[in-house]
Amino acid sequence: MRPTYRYALGFALISIAHCLVAQSQIPTARGMTSDHRYEVAATYSHVLTDGSFGRPNLAMNGFAASVTAGVLPLFQLTGDVGSYSRRGETSIKSFLGGPQLGFHLYRFQPFVHVLAGISHTSVNSQGVGNAFTVAAGGGLNVPVTPHIAIRALQAEYYRPFGGWYRSADFLRLGFGLSYQFGQR
């Protein structure tokens, strides 16, 4: 085949594909956010620290459960409860809440939030104190049914201010499931 025919055939195939794609609708939800007003999520979390507990590279595992309620089309309020530990040596329990922005990007539901509240730290099964805590980050939900989504990723910078371990920095990584319900 001569080069000019290849270019003409390629151009024709691209033109036909463009016409087919241009006729299909782009999937969007009302207001670029979820159609559901409420969400309940359960997340397995792996927490990494900067070594402020006297042990370098201390890693903890645990869970977080959150409840989110839609206030405006893109604006939600979230409450989050978490518990993370390492073989009975060190544990952290947190109670956080705050604003969240969520929207649709094709089939995906990314979100970002800033949560604040209190966390309780225990070392060797002895409580060592409470601290004001801030967690900032976000995540990505991937819907699999109209009500159930996989939380493919949740990542947050997590830091207590005050208390026994006031200088500890944490990275919270997780994945889980989300159940969305209620009409806007």
What tokens does 45 get?
A: 């979390």
39-54 tens-digit pLDDT: 999 999 999 887 665 6
Confidence at residue 33, expressed as pLDDT on a 0 to 100 scale: 47
Q: What is the pTM of this model?
A: 0.76
Residue 160 confidence (pLDDT) above 60 = yes
Q: What is the mean pLDDT of residues 149-177?
A: 87
The strand pairing partners of 63, in sequence order, are: 44, 83
**Closest by CA position to 75, among listed 99, 107, 39, 97:** 99
Distance CA 68, CA 128 (A): 30
62-110 tens-digit pLDDT: 999 999 999 998 899 999 999 999 887 788 899 999 999 998 888 899 9
Degrees to nearest 5, angle at CA 11 with 9 and 16: 95
Residue 31 confidence (pLDDT) above 50 = no
Which domains are seen in the chain, by residue range? 30-183 (2.40.160.20)
The strand pairing partners of 19, in sequence order, are: none
Most confident range, picked from 6-15, 101-110, 142-151:
142-151
